[in-house]
Amino acid sequence: MSRDALSFPSSSAKPIEHYLPESTGLARPLYPHVTLTYATSLDANLSLSPGVQTALSGTQSKAMTHFLRSKHAAILIGAGTAIADDPSLNCRIEGVGGYGGPGLEGQPRPVVLDPKGRWKVNAESKVVKLAKEGRGLGPWVIGAQDTPIEESKHRALTDAGGSYITLPTDSSGRFDWANILNILGTKGITSVMVEGGGSVINELLSPRAIGLVDSVIVTIAPVWLGKNGVQVCPDERKNEGGVKMSVGKLKDVRWLPLGEDVVLCGRPAWQ
């Protein structure tokens, strides 16, 4: 077994495969398959507070996350997570490229939403270092069209094989999710694993983001994090203009115990 590699048994992988992207083609014309996945506490928190990385997944569910990473073309996070966690965003399952396998096979493309250029990506960022070591792909940063990237950040990205992509923003400085997925699709990304954080997840679970998420895979850890946590709690699903909103329920649900955690898989029933 190669250094740092994780393993995930095929008996545990089998029930999850039902929720994974097809290995060929885009799920919808120009839109990648989207799997929304995260680890949560019993009080629906992702972390103790916005700037604090909090380990929730146990050994087996962490290996599951890396198995999921190996099955997606890209991993997407918001700038808040990139700043708080300095994440690796690579796949460390035994047998993928950089972990016993050839080239970069099975490594997902890290994508960071950073409209205002808040993430100080540089040569010391973990994701950049891993790409240079041949253990991950270089990150793509999606920034706002009216926010030019600093030269040093641009160099850090391109030296690692990454790039800077721009999109238009709305009046509150947000990208439209259809635009995000569309630009990734046009760049050959057929599937995206959205990992967080709170603001990204809450947007994609909101009643407005209809038809964009294909699967939801949530690790629930037996822990409470308390009231200052970054909570998964999407916008209210209220009736507007007489149009009745459905509740944010999952269908096609499976619960899988993994060590001390339980993994919930399903598909949005509201689209």
Ligand X SMILES: NC(=O)C1=CN([C@@H]2O[C@H](COP(=O)(O)OP(=O)(O)OC[C@H]3O[C@@H](n4cnc5c(N)ncnc54)[C@H](O)[C@@H]3O)[C@@H](O)[C@H]2O)C=CC1
Ligand Y SMILES: Nc1nc(O)c(N)c(N[C@@H]2O[C@H](COP(=O)(O)O)[C@@H](O)[C@H]2O)n1
Site string for ligand Y, 177-216 (x = CB under 6 A): ------------------xx--------------------
Per CB under 6 A, which of residues 20..79 are in contact with ligand Y? 39, 54-57, 65, 77
The CB-of-44 to ligand X minimum distance in angstroms stands at 11
- Residue 51 C-beta: closest distance to ligand Y, Å: 12
CB of 26 or CB of 137, closer to ligand Y: 137
Q: Which of 73, 89, 184, 217 binds ligand Y (CB under 6 A)?
A: 89
88 binds ligand Y (CB under 6 A): yes
Find which of ligand X, ligand Y, none residue 175 binds, CB within 5 to 8 Å per kind.
ligand X
Which of 34, 200 has the CB closer to ligand X? 200
3-state secondary structure 192-213: EEEEECHHHHHHHCCCCCCCCC
> Residue 101 binds what, of ligand Y, ligand X, none (CB under 5 to 8 Å, by partner type)?
none
Q: Name the minimum Å distance from CB 99 to ligand X.
A: 21
Q: Which residues bind ligand X (CB under 6 A)?
A: 38-39, 46-47, 50, 52-53, 56, 77-81, 84-85, 113-115, 174-175, 195-200, 203, 230
Instruction: Report what 214 binds from ligand X, ligand Y, none; CB cut-off 5-8 Å by kind.
Output: none
Sole binder of ligand Y in the list 6, 19, 85, 258 (CB under 6 A): 85
**β 163-167/74-78 pair status:** unpaired
Residues lying near ligand Y in the complex (CB under 6 A) are found at 39, 54-57, 65, 77, 81, 85, 87-89, 195-196, 219
